[in-house]
Amino acid sequence: MTIKIGRNDPCWCGSGKKYKSCHAAFDDRIKHYANLGHEVPEHSMLKKAEDVEKLKASAKINVAVLDYIEKNIKEGLDTATIDKWVYDITTDMGGIPAPLNYNGYPYSVCTSVNDQVCHGFPSKDVILKSGDIVNVDCSTILDGYFSDSSRMFLIGDVSPEKKKLVEVTKEAMYKGLEATKPWGFLGDMSQAVHDHCYANGYTVVREIGGHGVGFEFHEDPWVGYNEKAGTGMLLVPGFVFTIEPMVNMGKVEIYTDPKNDWEVYTKDHQPSAQWEIMVLVTETGTEVISW
Ligand code: MF3
Ligand code: CO
């Protein structure tokens, strides 16, 4: 059902202004792209100024958790300890770790080491050793608002090959951010990520991607990093999503551990890296909400 708003009616955004002097031009611009056949966002997925404030409050916890991990992660630490840090810091700051019980996920954080692509289970038995690369993926709920970001950590003496994988993956994420623009397309970001990774001889995981985020942990649209510029959802101010490519040193194929249906590995057991930022599209560009 579509309800037609009169030009003199109050705007749907809640500003209290008349529609014609508020979001009418914005909606016309979206409609133009929809008529050309592009996928366009629904109003309900866009974040208003007061939502953005709440997202930033949630992200403040998420960033604090990752900052703490960055300072304290080291050789000899088991990843169950990281899970405890995440739970304790998040709840002390008034938040809830979003992964805990999400679709049955049994921990507060994902810790993915070396050939683990994502969703690695923290464990007393996984002891970080020199040469490991590890992704720690944190997500927080505060006041019903979700934040989500992840970082890579190098443990001890890491080989130049693995260091480069971690660096290039981070660069690719930021190239994706640079390509993210209001009234551009999600595919512009995807292609920028893809091209940088493949130019360095890496592959980008196809089956698992990013997502809209904020009101829910995982909102539409699904965000891939192998799509073409000029395709995918139209990016408009108020749209919030994650840039979180999973980049493999070797072949692109992955598999999920049948023992728990969560932990994802590279098929060839070569290393994989991932960084994640949560990004708001603004009137003039972008703002990174969580990192
Ligand atoms: N934090 C992951 C993401 O970036 C999702 C993890 S799902 C979980 O989207 F259940 F493992 F938490
Ligand atoms: Co995410």
Mean pLDDT of 272-276: 99
pLDDT score of 2 more than 80: no
Considering only CA atoms, which residue is closest to atom 12 of ligand 1?
Answer: 99
Q: How confident is the model at residue 3 (pLDDT cuts 50, 70, 90)?
A: low
Mean pLDDT of 204-222: 98
Segment 145-183, tens digit of pLDDT: 999 999 999 999 999 999 999 999 999 999 999 999 999
Q: What is residue 4's predicted lDDT score, i.e. its pLDDT?
A: 79
pLDDT score of 80 more than 60: yes
Ligand 1 pocket residue status of 119, Cβ below 6 Å: yes
Ligand 1 pocket residue status of 139, Cβ below 6 Å: yes
Considering only CA atoms, which residue is closest to atom 2 of ligand 1?
Answer: 137
Distances (CA, A) of 208 to 119, 218, 220, 246, 274: 11, 12, 14, 8, 11
228-262 in b/e form (b: 16+ CB < 10 A) is: ebeebbbbbbbbbbbbbbbbbbbebebebeeeeeb
- DSSP result, 44-104: GGPPPHHHHHHHHHHHHHHHHHHHHHHHH--TT-BHHHHHHHHHHHHHHTT-EETTTTGGG
Ligand 1 pocket residue status of 227, Cβ below 6 Å: no
Segment 218-261, tens digit of pLDDT: 999 999 999 999 999 999 999 999 999 999 999 999 999 999 99
* Distance from Cα 19 to the centre of ligand 2, integer Å: 34
Segment 94-152, tens digit of pLDDT: 999 999 999 999 999 999 999 999 999 999 999 999 999 999 999 999 999 999 999 99
Segment 10-67, tens digit of pLDDT: 999 989 999 999 999 999 999 999 999 999 999 999 999 999 999 999 999 999 999 9
Q: Give 3-state DSSP helix, strand, coil % of the chain, rounded to 5.
A: 30, 25, 45
* Distance from Cα 30 to the centre of ligand 2, integer Å: 26
* Distance from Cα 217 to the centre of ligand 1, integer Å: 8
* Distance from Cα 99 to the centre of ligand 1, integer Å: 6
In angstroms, the CA 275 to CA 6 distance is 44
Q: Picking from 8-22, 66-80, 82-96, which range would have the lowest pLDDT averaged per residue?
A: 8-22
pLDDT score of 7 more than 80: yes
* Distance from Cα 77 to the centre of ligand 2, integer Å: 25
Considering only CA atoms, which residue is closest to atom 7 of ligand 1?
Answer: 99
Q: What is the mean pLDDT of the chain?
A: 97
